[in-house]
Amino acid sequence: MTDYKIQNVDAIRDSAGQACSMLKILANEDRLMLLCQLTQGEKNVGELEAATNIQQPTLSQQLTILRKDNIVKIRKDGKFNYYSIASDEVIQVMQTLGSLYGCNK
Amino acid sequence: MTDYKIQNVDAIRDSAGQACSMLKILANEDRLMLLCQLTQGEKNVGELEAATNIQQPTLSQQLTILRKDNIVKIRKDGKFNYYSIASDEVIQVMQTLGSLYGCNK
DNA sequence: ATAATAATTTATAAATTAATAATATATAAA
DNA sequence: TTTATATATTATTAATTTATAAATTATTAT
């Protein structure tokens, strides 16, 4: 190839890396469905199950992934576990996606 | 679980599906780097290689994926292939990501 | 024609993610 | 304290994605 000017490739890759780890988590239909629901506010697992038709163990699994990456936070109340979105970045991306695909309507 | 009201789950899943197929393509560090570059305008493969340090066959492979999903379009000029972003949705998402992580600066 | 440059394609192994089923834990009600 | 409900965890297999290397095509210049 010809010689072109190289400018702060590492900085760009670093940004891309950060954005990418978030996108990898969003890039799953179940998780996206769950986050869609949570953009409307806190919901417990049963509510999420009813709103998404995702079977319970799968749902719990995906919530665990979201929890571990600090995308959502949990609040326990009796035998119910309530989830809500914890990441401002995710809220913003979900907003953009919602306006493009209507997935948070 | 308790019984909750179910409303248009299928419609939401459909939206999530669409958004998800786009996110799956963005959720790769190399592809994201390339799209970052292309938000600045059309670039040929050599320029993309220099700007990203992605080795050429990998780069070509990822561009093929982006092309097949109509995320980018190609313009051939002599022995150079110029790429640019073809999807308005992707432009919007990249813009949001750029404002959050600075990856299109 | 031959060589050089720009880019793509193909193949394969390794790694990651998703799908599914079974089991376990925690809280509350009977 | 047994039972039911809500939720989480673990294990296993299947599928998808990524990484890497080798070979090929296309265009231009010599």
Q: What is the mean pLDDT of residues B1-14?
A: 71
A3-18 pLDDT, tens digit each: 554 448 889 899 999 9
Of B6 and A26, the structure prediction assigns the larger pLDDT to A26
**According to the model, what pLDDT value does residue B104 have?**
46
- The answer to whether the CB atoms of A5 and B93 lie below 8 A apart is no
Q: What is the mean pLDDT of residues A83-96?
A: 98
Q: Per-residue pLDDT for B3 more than 60?
A: no
Q: How many residues does chain A have?
A: 105
Q: How many CA atoms lie within 13 A of B68 on its CB side?
A: 8
Closest by alpha carbon to B64, among B31, B23, B99, B18? B31
DSSP state of A84: E
Note the strand C nucleotides within 7 A of protein beta carbons. Answer: 5-11, 17-23, 26-28
With CA of A55 and C1' of each nucleotide, the nearest comes out as: C20
Q: Per-residue pLDDT for B35 more than 60?
A: yes
**According to the model, what pLDDT value does residue B2 have?**
59
Percent with pLDDT over 90 in chain B: 85
**According to the model, what pLDDT value does residue B90 have?**
98
**According to the model, what pLDDT value does residue B103 have?**
57
Tell if B28 CB is < 7 Å from nucleic strand C: no
Q: Give the distance, in angstroms, between the CA of residue A22 and the centroid of all CA atoms in the same chain.
A: 7
Write the CA distances from A91 to A22, A97, B44, B70, integer angstroms: 11, 10, 34, 26
With CA of B63 and C1' of each nucleotide, the nearest comes out as: C8
**According to the model, what pLDDT value does residue B102 have?**
86
Nearest by CB to B12, from A1, A36, A97: name it. Answer: A36
